[in-house]
Amino acid sequence: MGLDDGAKMGGEGQARDDAAAMGGGPAPDGGTEADGKGPAPDVRLRTDGGASALGAGALAMRGSVAVAAISRLRAWFNLCAITRFASWAARAYKSSRTGRGFASFLGKAPTSHFSVTYRAAAAVFSLADRLAGRAHAAIAPSAGRSALYRAAVRVKGIPRRRAALLLAAATLSAVCLAIAFPQLKAVSVLAVVGACCVVFLVKYPLATLLVAQYSIIYYAVTAFVRIPLLEAVWSELLLFGCVAVWLYKWLVHRRDVPYVFTPVDIPLMLFVAVCTFYLFANSPDIYIGLKGYRAVVEYMLFFFVITQLARERRYIKGLAHSIVGAGFVAAAIGVFQYFHGVDTPASWTDRAEDTVAPRVFSVAGNPNILAVLMLCVIPITVSIVLYNKDLRARVAAGFMAVVMTMCMVFTGSRSAWIALAIALAIFAFMMGDKRVVMVFAIVAVAVYFGIPSVQQRISYLISDDFINSSLRAGRLMRWPAAVEMVRENPLAGVGLGRFGGAVAAANRMPFTFYIDNYYLKIAVEMGLPGLASFLALMAGLLVSGFRAVRRLVGTEYYGLALGAMCSIVGVLATNVVLNNFDAPMVTVYFWVLAGMVMFLGYGPERAERPLPL
């Protein structure tokens, strides 16, 4: 089964703030007179060059209707009953026993490091590390004298950003070559793989940037390269290649941190162990069982790729920017599809809906998956807008956020819209800034009243026609049937790959149907023990993730970690009414975001150590 199977299925300081925003305030020279004999009696505009025009523009803007409207809107927002109630509720919550207890809970150190399981895992990795150290000592003398090593040392001197640009240029050139000359596709693929090997062996953390471009690689392989064998196994090759780079780092770069433990490692390993048990204990057809096991477990391993290949927190920032770039490309394609009226299948909308707006799908092949992809990147992009110190980066991120939001709206995915509202509400609550709440609320109201298709989709969601349609052949009909299947097999389940997802549909399993609830899918396939282990993993990820966010308060990485965690919450919310973890693109980015948060919170702050043998 190709990897695209899952994708296809399925008011304080108001005057001061206004002055700062409009360019007012004291002059840059400290408000002194031109002759420097004493302080100026008042603040005047400078008369040199462009500053005069800027000051004149600022004065003109202060008296404009737009600024007056914004000021009145801000004053109304600060004085309205809703804002006063929200402020009172926030103060009451923080001072309450519940608020203090929750803050204390998030501030606790993880207790997993004191468990027997952790100590056993640490002993195993310590043994493996000693074996790698012996192998390193055996090959270091001869390898250090080789011509290949001397050439690698020269390449290592290339700055990290330049190396990343060279790798991107080589990949883009190979893709263009494959499009222009289809007979050279294999040569292009080999050239990209060779360039990746050279760069990754010298600067191994750059392998994470390749994972960040998963959606773009997916689109290029399936839409342009079109080599059947490569379409089927390229994701596995990417994962195995990253694991090989990790082992190379562990063996050769001995002075780097050999393994980064995070509180999610043990719950994740335990869930994988449970899945392995069910694979061998309850797989009537081992071929289908392996496919179901792969669909559940394989993409989780990208979590370890991020936590083990990143050397410092600054690498995570570059990874986040790369993910935002990939998301912007996907969003731009989706917006292009909308304005050019892309054809969408009739099955993507209910027959009773009175809407003709197209639902875009971009690189994902499915509007719901594309919407969840936007859900993964929009909170991170918003965090760059709010927390980045570089004005150019903030402006660029703001533009990208607008395009991504438009793309999400054009997908028509109601569940993703609701999940994004939940994610941004958590973001605003954790920030504690009323202005952010106001901006988010204004955007939501503008989208609802400004785009008719959004009104139609949401109005239909709460109509009797939707309820009747869902009872007849939708979620409200399938969910009770799935619950009944859980009652029939509460412990063993029906087996991995045999219900509710792309694997079961592709293999035409009898007595099965596609289920729009990933948690029910897990319960039917693996029984209640499997569901309990999966929910324990997700609960551990949420608790450890928000604890990591709390540990980063006051650092430059706080906004990034908060945005990633809000995305994670949003994706988990969508899986209540969708089966998004059945799509590799969603699962990979979900666990990449989880790895980013865990490394920022629990990884080494800095690992400036020499790299050679």
- Identify the pLDDT of residue 192: 62
Higher pLDDT, 3 or 480: 480
Digit-coded pLDDT (tens) for 488-510: 989 989 999 988 888 888 888 88
pLDDT band per the 50, 70, 90 thresholds, residue 49: very low
Ranking 150-159, 303-312, 330-339 by mean pLDDT, the lowest is 150-159
Report yes or no: 300 and 372 within 8 Å, Cβ to Cβ. no
User: CA-CA distances (angstroms) from residue 537 to 184, 265, 272, 602?
Assistant: 45, 9, 10, 17
pLDDT for the residue 351 = 61
Q: What is the pLDDT of residue 277?
A: 94
Quick: pLDDT tens for 428-444. 888 877 677 777 778 88
- Distance CA(521)–CA(469), nearest Å, equals 22
pTM exceeding the 0.95 threshold for the entire prediction: no
Distance (Å, whole) CA 553 – CA 229: 47
Cα separation, 19 vs 131, in Å, equals 64
Q: Which two tokens stand for residue 525?
A: 């396939």
Q: What is the per-residue pLDDT for 187? A: 62
Phi then psi dihedrals of residue 254, to 5 deg: -65, -25
C-alpha 584/C-alpha 578 separation (Å) is 14
For all residues of the chain together, what is the average pLDDT? 76
Only one residue has tokens 């399925």, namely 10
Q: Who contacts 494 (Cβ-Cβ below 8 Å, separation ≥6)?
A: 282, 485, 524, 525
Q: What SS3 class is residue 32?
A: strand
What's the average model confidence in pLDDT over 566-582?
Answer: 93
What is the spatial distance between Cα 425 and Cα 98, in angstroms, rounded to a whole number?
20
Number of CB atoms found within 10 A of residue 166's CB: 14
Measured distance CA(440)–CA(434) in Å, rounded: 10
Band of residue 275 on the pLDDT scale cut at 50, 70, 90: very high
> Which amino acid belongs to residue 449?
F
Contacts 24+ apart (CB under 8 A), 529-537: 529/274, 529/491, 530/274, 530/275, 530/278, 530/493, 533/270, 533/271, 533/274, 534/271, 536/267, 536/270, 536/271, 537/264, 537/267, 537/268, 537/270, 537/271
Which residue from 501, 535, 518, 523 is spatially nearest to 574, judged by alpha carbons?
518
* Residue 510, helix vs strand vs coil: coil
Residue 32 pairs in a beta bridge with: 39
Q: Report pLDDT digits (tens) over 501-546.
A: 888 888 888 878 888 899 999 999 999 999 999 999 999 999 999 9
Token pair 């570059």 is at which residue?
318
pLDDT at 453: 75
The 3 state secondary structure assigned to 93-159 is HHHCHHHHHHHHHHHCCCCHHHCHHHHHHHHHHHHHHHHHHHHHHHHHHHHHCCHHHHHHHHHHCCC
